[in-house]
Structure 1
């Protein structure tokens, strides 16, 4: 059915010279299952697709996938293995496991709503909310919300942020498969304050980014052998002079970012970035056509 719908969308897009090309998000969003291909991340985290993704089980011994109606619990096998690994490790710190948010669509690609990234099966959102139980119904998973670990003024963590959060984030950062982890800036600042001088190297993978106070976003490295996967730059080793990302530039997120200085007279506004929802197949790697067409 998805292949028929894809063909219809493509056909409508090519109906006439003036017709707009269908968006890649509509084409990838039409598929309900992964492709029967060897697992491969293709392109970049924010402009690509993925072959052979597998679905994270809705419920495991130490996790539950949330918002099942989105059908975004698909990932590269290495991502699924990481989730299973980290959720089991979380139980060592007193949590029952992890609530898992979006990973990718069945074949990756741009989404019809939400994320810019999560396109190649190597990104996963993990809720900041400690699971109170792991037998939630489908309806409960749609209606339950995560918790914010950021203060109302966005400059510091609140009482929801605990040592257990730090332990789980550190465990994730020390996993060799992980490239970086996005968190709200106050979390990074707090972790920099609490880390010991002797053990800070893992902090370089913890990156401040707006919008990550209800969940943390783990991004895995390109898997070995996935030659179409684009490694992100800069690498974590070159993040900052100190190597841990705890230098003075971190304060920007709770100063100028929240209260930007007035632009200089005559300064041109920054050009508007295209959102991946606007991409067509021509914007993605050519191999993504094969992913869409595969069984």
Structure 2
């Protein structure tokens, strides 16, 4: 599908098995942000997500953090990508790079912009040449928004956020460690009010997630790790009936 369905936005199903009716497209350029790799056609989202991204970029401009680089959101009618993501199916997920541009990028640069790693993956430590005040404030700004359900970052990035002296720390509960998110963070919004077919995710555990839970993610660096057995691929669940109709 190359075009959204008509009507009001409605997220249907779960974040990793659903679809999106009445999607809105994020303009490829706006105040303080740019969409990367637009040729993929993944810049559609629930209207609530599009509003959130505009609000976030406005906040970034006010704090003078730099130019926001927006990655994948969803396809015109949501559903599964052919590659790259298990979620992003209901228009309520978006990837935002932690690399902050100090100027608008050219069209050629946006097609093949290179990520800026915030973590030394092999050493399980932060890359202090790339990670700094701008990145920490960007994550805080996004997580403090009441529309946000979760933000996924690499465990080392979560550790850096935990170590900072914040005036208010309630938003840290939403910042969840997850492998792979070492150069970008993944924003997930709550099901919007009135979207009765949207299935919410269970709320994060109480607390800021900075204690034993975070420590449990750290790999044993001194011992040789056993090889993981190759797991059989599970059959993908059937999409909701509303989605089957929408995607036809």
For the aligned pair, the TM-score class normalised by the smaller chain equals: over 0.9
Gaps of 5+ in 2: none
Which runs of structure 1 show a deviation greater than 6 angstroms over 4 or more consecutive aligned residues? Answer: 257-260
Among 11, 27, 30, the residue aligned to 1:57: 27
Q: How many residues align?
A: 247
Find the counterpart in structure 2 of residue 187 from structure 1: 157
Among 255, 276, 282, the residue aligned to 2:219: 255
Higher relative strand content? 2
Find the counterpart in structure 2 of residue 220 from structure 1: 189
Find the counterpart in structure 2 of residue 103 from structure 1: 73
Normalising to structure 1: TM-score of the pair?
Answer: 0.78
Matched, 1:292 2:247: yes
Find the counterpart in structure 2 of residue 133 from structure 1: 103
Q: Deviations over 1:210-234 (max 9, x none)?
A: 000111000000000001100101x
Q: 1: CA distance between counterparts of 2:221 and 2:75?
A: 31
Q: Larger Cα Rg: Structure 1 or Structure 2?
A: 1
Once the two structures are overlaid, the 10-residue window that deviates more, 283-292 or 202-211, is 283-292
Find the counterpart in structure 2 of residue 142 from structure 1: 111
Find the counterpart in structure 2 of residue 161 from structure 1: 131
Matched, 1:79 2:43: no
Shift of 1:261: 5.5
Q: 1: CA distance between counterparts of 2:220 and 2:140?
A: 28
Cα contact 1:56–1:74 (8 A) shared by 2: yes
Among 9, 18, 24, the residue aligned to 1:39: 9
Q: 2: CA distance between counterparts of 1:49 and 1:95?
A: 33
Q: Deviations over 1:226-270 (max 9, x none)?
A: 01100101x03xx14xx100111211222259978649xxxx968
Q: 2: CA distance between counterparts of 1:124 and 1:132?
A: 22
3-state DSSP class of the match of 1:41?
strand
RMSD of aligned alpha carbons: 2.2
Q: 2: CA distance between counterparts of 1:257 and 1:271?
A: 24
Cα contact 1:154–1:186 (8 A) shared by 2: no
Matched, 1:207 2:207: no
Normalising to structure 2: TM-score of the pair?
Answer: 0.92
